[in-house]
Structure 1
């Protein structure tokens, strides 16, 4: 297990080990997105438990269309930033870094405090019903197509949110370009039907992500971590694969590799399985090969031996865990001290509605 406890680096920041808390939808803030004491206790326990980095749930960056769930945390106002500050300080006081994941819900929005309108690259209706575990029910509405002017507003929302993250003391920000939310919708050929500079070719579909990396980096400076999360699967379509397979992956990761993003975080059902069909490399391997960036692998890596193997074989540089962390907030400390890990039983969710049914947590 020694590889899991070696120091690592993201940008200019030193990580005490290779364990990272994956972002998980918590829907535990106030109705207006202000994080509260419940949120504070939730994140602090992982820092106490030995994680090198704590990544927040996807927090929405603006007060227009970005909020995806009721009671989702926000980083879109001065008040949001002020309430995140003591949480960040608490996490850092236990020796962990804290990264804010900035997420625009796009068409996968099922609860917004500010608007009933949903937006996407093109008119689009997610293929499955809203998630009951997060308070939704019934089908999603059709999202309206963003104009070029509205895309600029979306970008400015991310930039302003990154500035709020810096003001709150976060060590970094992660752009949520995975799991079917807005940035991933731009990336996905089956959803993005635009005919302008943001649609069509893979290079055009990854353009918004690259522009955001440039703009956010300029806003927060060179010492703050800037990362991005990428996946093929969607929260509303877990069987989705990039139609171009490894060739498409090569273009996406190569284009991201041309930016000064500090890491790429891969979200998958199982980080050790072939990403593009039998006999192909994993998503993490492809990201590492074609981008040249540090890679965080996430997906069924709760078993420490399995997680260590991913690092030992050079498939990724860090591992992120979700369900296993809910069952064992002190996973790194337990593994380091040779103590057994409890099994996740589906009852570890922390939300105002206190759901206890089994569900997917890594979205």
Structure 2
């Protein structure tokens, strides 16, 4: 594990190893969106366990249509910001850096206490069915199409949330443009059938993302890390591909970098899955070739392949989800050569809450 435990940097963040806690929805905030003591303990345990960088679960950005799940945390008012400041203080005190992932659910809204109907890039329902572990919803609701006023409001919501994240002490923000949520919907031609400046060719479909990165960069400054999580696939469609393939993805990354993006966080079912149309390369492979843009890779990373991936991507950080859920002290266990276990799906059943996880641990594990 010598490559995994090499010193690394992400922007101005210094790291003693390359393992990152990836963002995972935990629906364990207060009903009004404030972080709870359970969340403080949850994130701090990762830091105590040897992770030097943690990315939060997706946090909603406005008090309109951005919330996607009941008991999802937000960062839209003073109370939520103060709650996150307490979490950040605990995480920093345990020695880890903390990045806030900002998300707008878009058409994949399963619950929202502010707005009855989801807002989508176009009037297109997601494929498949909602995820039961995040709340009960039998079928997706047909979204309302964003108008220009909505788009301006969403932009302002993200920028305001980023400023609040910085004020709360976070080391940066990650803009969630993966998995079929709103930012991803702009890029996805099955979600986006607009005929205006926000749809059609790639330049139009990526316009909002570029403007958003620049706006957050201008609002938060050079010393605040801005990243973006990107995927082709969505939570209910594992087969979607961007029509522009490898060249289009590289072009998107270069434009995002030029707008002020510090890193891209690629995610797929496997890091090296040949995912792009008419290409034998993965998202991670293309992203690793773009100069001046740091990289976090995610997708099927385990104790069995992480050293090889660290060698293949010598400048990348490795984000883990499932293995981190099982062992919040994963880096320490790897260093000590202790056994690493598989995720038991019942840990996240019937819902992916922290209380269900704690109940599972009491029954199945001894710390």
TM-score category (smaller protein): over 0.9
SS state at 1:266 partner: strand
Deviation at 1:315, TM superposition (A): 6.9
- Single out whichever of 334-343 and 348-357 deviates more from structure 2: 348-357
* The 10-residue stretch of structure 1 (320-329 or 251-260) with the greater mean CA deviation from structure 2: 251-260
Question: Residue 310 of structure 1 contacts residue 316 of structure 1 at CA under 8 Å; is this kept in 2?
Answer: no
Listed one character per residue, the Cα deviations across residues 259-288 of structure 1 (whole Å, up to 9, x for unaligned) are 221100011111122222697112111112
Superposition deviation, residue 127 in structure 1:
1.4
CA–CA separation in structure 1 for the residues paired with 2:36 and 2:205: 37
Counterpart of 2:363? Answer: none
Equivalent position of 2:310 in the other structure? 311
Alpha-carbon contact 2:106-2:181 (below 8 Å) kept: yes
Runs of 4+ in 1 over 6 A off after TM superposition: none
Matches within 5 A, 1:285-324: 285-290=285-290, 292-303=292-303, 305-314=304-313, 317-324=316-323
TM-score of the aligned structures, taking structure 1 as reference length = 0.94
Secondary structure of 2:345's match? Answer: coil
Superposed CA offset, 1:120-161 (max 9, x none): 111111111221111122111111111112101100000110
Question: Where does the alignment leave 5 or more consecutive residues of structure 2 unmatched?
Answer: 361-367
> Secondary structure of 2:69's match?
coil
Residue of structure 2 equivalent to 1:249:
249
Per-residue deviation at 1:292? Answer: 4.0
Moved more, 157-166 or 345-354: 345-354
Root-mean-square deviation (Å): 1.8
Q: Deviations over 1:188-235 (max 9, x none)?
A: 112111122211111111111111111111111111111000001101
Q: Report the 3-state secondary structure (helix = DSSP H, G, I; strand = E; otherwise coil) of the residue aligned with 1:232.
A: strand
Give the SS at the match of 1:354. Answer: helix
Distance (Å, rounded) in 2 between the aligned partners of 1:80 and 1:42: 17
Secondary structure at the residue paired with 2:68?
coil
How many residues in Structure 1 have an aligned counterpart in Structure 2? 356
1:361 alignment counterpart: none
CA–CA separation in structure 2 for the residues paired with 1:143 and 1:316: 40
Q: Counterparts of 1:150-161 in structure 2 under 5 Å?
A: 150-161=150-161
- Aligned-partner SS, 1:57: strand
CA distance in 2 between counterparts of 1:312 and 1:353 reads 37
Aligned partner of 1:273 in structure 2 is 273
User: 1:245-270, CA deviations, whole angstroms, 9 ceiling, x for partnerless residues?
Assistant: 22332222222232221100011111
Q: Whole-Å Cα distance in 2 between the matches of residues 218 and 169 of structure 1? A: 18
Q: Which residue of 1 is the match for residue 364 of structure 2?
A: none
Alpha-carbon distance, 1:3 to partner: 1.2
1:314 to partner: Cα distance: 2.5
Using the TM superposition, give the Cα deviation of residue 316 of structure 1 relative to its aligned residue in structure 2, in angstroms.
5.6
- What does 1:1-363 correspond to in 2, within 5 Å? 1-276=1-276, 280-290=280-290, 292-303=292-303, 305-314=304-313, 317-349=316-348, 351=353, 354=356
Deviation at 1:244, TM superposition (A): 2.8
Looking at structure 2, the residues matched to 281 and 22 of structure 1 have their Cα atoms a distance apart, in angstroms, of 23
| TM-score (norm. length: structure 2) | 0.93
Maintained 8 Å contact 1:127/1:236: yes
Query: Contact conserved, 1:108 with 1:180, CA < 8 A, in 2?
Result: yes
Change (3 A) 1:189 1:278: closer
Distance 1:352 1:55 in 2: 16
CA 1:44–1:353: 2 relative to 1, 3 Å: closer
* Separation in structure 2 between the aligned mates of residue 48 and residue 225 of structure 1, nearest angstrom: 23
The superposition leaves residues 150-182 of structure 1 with CA deviations (integer Å, 9 ceiling, x where unpaired) of 101100000110111011110110000100000
